[in-house]
A and B are shown apart, each in its own frame.
Chain A
Amino acid sequence: MTANSRIYLDHSATTPLDPKALRKMQPYFTEKFGNPASIHTYGQEALKAVDEAREAVAEFLDATNSEIFFTSGATEANNMVLRGTMEKRIEEGNHFITSKIEHPSILETARSLEKDGFMASYLPVDKEGRVSKESVQKAITKKTVLVSIMYANNEVGAIQPIKEIGKLIRKENKKRLKEGLPEIYFHVDAVQGINFLDCSVKRLRCHLLSLSGHKFYGPKGIGVLYKQEGVALKAQATGGHQERNVRAGTSNVPGIIGLAEALKIANKNREKSSAKVFELKKYLIQKIKDQIPNIKVNSPESDNKGLPNIANISFPGAEGESILLKLDFAGIAVSTGSACSSTSLEPSHVLLAQRLTFKEAHSSVRFSLGKHNTKKEINYLMKHLPKIIEDLRKMSPIK
């Protein structure tokens, strides 16, 4: 490891674009620039490529082409789900269920809906950051029309029991049909799961699912909403017939092509890359346990409860942003759940939901590994990290 090279351990924030995906995208910026909504040859050429990409996404999700809608990313898809289904179904019910550890694109939209008069339940999580099926069951009311739970948490990697919740909701819906109660839609924000988890919508038993291109080595600014045939949703962006009137706006053709290619690659390499990053994660956690006293692992350590690539660790007595900056000076990129990483004065809502103390939450660092990371890079990290923590702890008035 040379002093000038940089190490990227922030793959939950974003990933580099796969060169193969880039090559596939390139012609669609220049010679094949047509608008897929145009009837002429330029347009049809672009439309054909978009259709093929749609088919690839549908295949990956175990869905049909007509159930795939391209968006600008998962944030837009999540907004579409919450606002779009709740507003559309206001006559049927005004209550939805989500969890305390969702991405801000869900939580802030949920709060905004509450201001508009909708009712929300925010489910708690256990110490490992997991929602329970039982809490979903308890929160369901006659007025419930939507449950939105993320597949895996972006800060700690906790995998949620999506298949169990999906089963429960399906069972519940059968009962509700007989009782004349509104159907409950089940939405899964699958952004962090794509690289590592089974994303068949049939097996998850979800009605809606969101994903984002740049989390799996695809381009930024492109995402997908899966919407099961027949699921009612009010369009949020209007003013065009694109995406079958569900999402107006000219299609991001190069983005769509890049996303589909990246998805194919992710699917092909899933098992191999999952196993590789999981080994590396275990190695990293063990090294930190061995070399740094008084730490707390906030991520589930077993691979059936936590994503194989996220290690969220607290170093009480040192503050997250200070650790992040000192690592950055050494050429290592990570992220933190300290308040200083946000514009609010509070640390990570996820870590607080896991009942970490403020001191622990402010001292948290997220290491999120990717398919290109190596053991050598972890060794380089471990050359710097213990000293950084020691120095910051020396500076602190509370030990």
Chain B
Amino acid sequence: MYTKEVLAHFTNPKNMGKMKNPDGVGDVGNLRCGDIMKLYIKVKNDKIKDIKFETLGCAAAIATSSMITDLAKGKTLVEAKKISNKDVAVALKGLPSAKMHCSNLAADALANAIENYQKKKNKNGK
């Protein structure tokens, strides 16, 4: 049902845990469908210097969270924003069709975190 890549990220997730003093936080998902994702980023010179996640959810939700941290780390904010949920699924060599919508939220969480960072920055800038 799951690819080797999904199971590898599920078993040994990368960049898992809470971040102290993040520059941006992304929050997606809901309790009804069961998957909740929180993504933390640290930004330096418009690049994602560090990224961490916390996820409550199924193997697909955990694996996509882990994968996006791999994909986004070191990228500029412009590049990182372009990563789509589909890109994450492709990097994991595919997800079961039922999981494509409900558990594949990581790119949304990242976009959400970047937005949160930019909002904060603009506020502070004023």
Contact = CB atoms under 8 A, between A and B. Distances in A.
Contacts of A264: none
Interface in B41-62: 54-62
Contacts of A359: 31
A396 B34 contact: no
A318 to B, nearest CB: 8
A392 B59 CA distance: 11
B117 interface: no
Nearest to A316: B56
Nearest to B29: A397
Interface stretch (B9-17, B74-82, B86-94): B9-17
A318 B37 CA distance: 13
Interface string B25-37: 0010001111111
A394 to B, nearest CB: 8
Contact of A395 (B33, B60, B62): B62
Contacts of A396: 36, 54-56
A321 B58 contact: yes
Contacts of B38: 397
Contacts of B103: 340
A346 B102 CA distance: 10
A397 B37 contact: yes
Interface in A329-354: 329, 338-340, 343, 345-347
A398 B62 CA distance: 14
Task: Provide the main secondary structure of the chain B interface.
Answer: mixed
**Interface centre among A318, A357, A362, A397, by most B CB within 10 Å?**
A397
Interface string A288-326: 000000000000000000000000000001111110010
A8 interface: no
A336 B55 CA distance: 19
Contacts of A320: 58
A358 B34 contact: yes
A268 to B, nearest CB: 38
Name the interface size band of chain A.
20 to 34
Interface residues of B, number: 28
A325 B10 contact: yes
Nearest to B38: A397
A339 B102 contact: yes
Contacts of B60: 340
Contact of B34 (A329, A339, A343, A397): A339
B103 to A, nearest CB: 7
B10 A362 contact: no
A358 B102 contact: no
A388 to B, nearest CB: 12
A319 B57 contact: yes
Contacts of B27: 397
Interface string A104-146: 0000000000000000000000000000000000000000000
B36 A397 contact: yes
Contacts of B37: 397
**Interface centre among A358, A394, A395, by most B CB within 10 Å?**
A395
Nearest to A359: B31
19 contacts: A318-B56, A319-B56, A319-B57, A322-B57, A322-B58, A325-B10, A339-B33, A340-B34, A340-B59, A340-B102, A345-B32, A347-B34, A395-B16, A395-B17, A396-B54, A397-B27, A397-B38, A397-B54, A397-B56
Q: Which 5 pairs between the two chains have the least Cβ-Cβ distance?
A: A362-B34, A397-B38, A396-B56, A397-B54, A340-B58
Given A319-B58, A321-B59, 20 more contacts: A317-B56, A325-B59, A338-B34, A339-B33, A340-B34, A340-B58, A340-B102, A343-B98, A345-B32, A345-B102, A357-B31, A358-B31, A358-B32, A358-B34, A359-B31, A362-B34, A395-B17, A395-B55, A395-B56, A397-B38
